Amino acid sequence: MRYLILIISLVAILNAASFQRDNQLQIVIDTEHSLVWMDSEANIKLYFTHEEADKYCEDLLHGTYSNWRLPEIEELELIVDKDNPPRNIYRVFRYSLNEGYWASTAHWRTLWFYADYMHFVSGTPYFDSRHKKKLVRCVRTGK
């Protein structure tokens, strides 16, 4: 039983090893996927419609960077950690609520009325009306 706990602990540490937090810039760097995530109080305080969230990320100047964007749903799946309930996000992220965070994809099948979001209460992607207000976690490519 001890070996099983040790193996599970090592796997969890190795999975989290690709994330590094910069407290001063309030960002989390994913070295494995070359992504930089915004991680500040705004991630738990600001609610936007999908269109507002997209514009917010495009206009954002955070951590000395200006090339932010809404993440793809697949990118949000990279930061889900179902071993960390109820937040279901890697512990390196300090600012997170177990609510919905917008992704960039809007669906043509619904005439772009619905868009993807990651629901961190379950760590599962869903889609919802683009007119509803959800949280946002902007991302940028690079280091």
Convert the pLDDT of each residue in 96-141 to its tens digit. 999 999 999 998 776 779 999 999 999 999 999 999 999 999 999 9
For residue range 90-104, list pLDDT tens digits in order.
Answer: 999 999 999 999 999
Query: What's 2-141's CATH class?
Result: alpha beta
Contacts of 140 (CB under 8 A, 6+ apart): 35, 36, 65, 67, 68, 69
For residue range 26-65, list pLDDT tens digits in order.
Answer: 999 999 999 999 999 999 999 999 999 999 999 999 999 9
Domain boundaries, the chain: 2-141
pLDDT (0 to 100) of residue 109: 74
pLDDT (0 to 100) of residue 2: 57
What pTM did the predictor assign?
Answer: 0.85
CB 126 within 8 A of CB 117: yes
